[in-house]
């Protein structure tokens, strides 16, 4: 009888530990020195942050599609975004510089912003990437975004993204509604 009780306690303890513990997001990043696997079209699916201010910028968006391409200058990437806000479409282009011998991306004109592409075996989805942005200095923020090759991503993938980030403190999250037609891409080499 005591053996059965002891076994039950150990089993319950293991279950409880699995529910309570939250392994940290691995401190592993994808280098973009070979950007070819990441080039092309990406749909912005969800964002997470430590506080509402980290993701407030995205709450006005209905949908966003991006196109990543290499620039003529070595180590430079161009990101063109077609952003749907209400009935309006906004096209923006950002220039990123890949740091040599590093995994960080620097956005041109924004020296306080650093971006990195996270390795995400925990997401278990090869058609998704996760990008983390940190704004340094006063009023700084940290946010993490989920992108996918397709506009519709399995709800379980989004739930895993949100759960992993929330158990690491980033519990504010937003999923883009995608209720309206996507905006047409302008300024990208291919759509």
Structural domains in the chain (count)? 1
- Is 188 domain-assigned? no
56-78 pLDDT, tens digit per residue, is: 999 999 999 999 999 988 889 99
State which residues form the domain around 73: 28-175
67, 190 contact by CB (below 8 A): yes
Q: Is residue 53 over pLDDT 90?
A: yes
- Is 5 domain-assigned? no
- Is 164 domain-assigned? yes
Q: What is the CATH number of the domain that holds 165?
A: 2.40.128.20
């Amino acid at each position: 009888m005591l053996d059965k009780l002891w076994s039950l306690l150990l089993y319950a303890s293991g279950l409880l530990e699995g529910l309570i513990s939250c392994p940290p997001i691995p401190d592993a990043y994808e280098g973009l020195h070979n950007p070819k696997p990441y080039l092309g079209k990406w749909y912005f699916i969800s964002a997470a942050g430590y506080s509402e201010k980290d993701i407030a910028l995205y709450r006005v968006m209905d949908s966003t599609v991006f196109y990543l391409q290499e620039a003529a200058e070595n180590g430079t990437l161009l990101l063109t975004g077609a952003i749907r806000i209400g009935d309006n479409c906004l096209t923006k282009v950002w220039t990123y510089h890949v740091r040599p011998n590093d995994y960080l991306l620097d956005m041109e004109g924004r020296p306080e912003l650093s971006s990195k592409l996270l390795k995400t075996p925990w997401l278990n989805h090869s058609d998704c990437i996760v990008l983390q942005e940190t704004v340094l200095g006063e009023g700084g923020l940290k946010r993490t975004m989920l992108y996918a090759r397709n506009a519709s991503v399995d709800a379980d993938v989004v739930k895993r993204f949100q759960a992993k980030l929330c158990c690491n403190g980033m519990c504010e999250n937003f999923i883009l509604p995608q209720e309206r037609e996507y905006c047409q891409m302008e300024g990208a080499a291919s759509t």
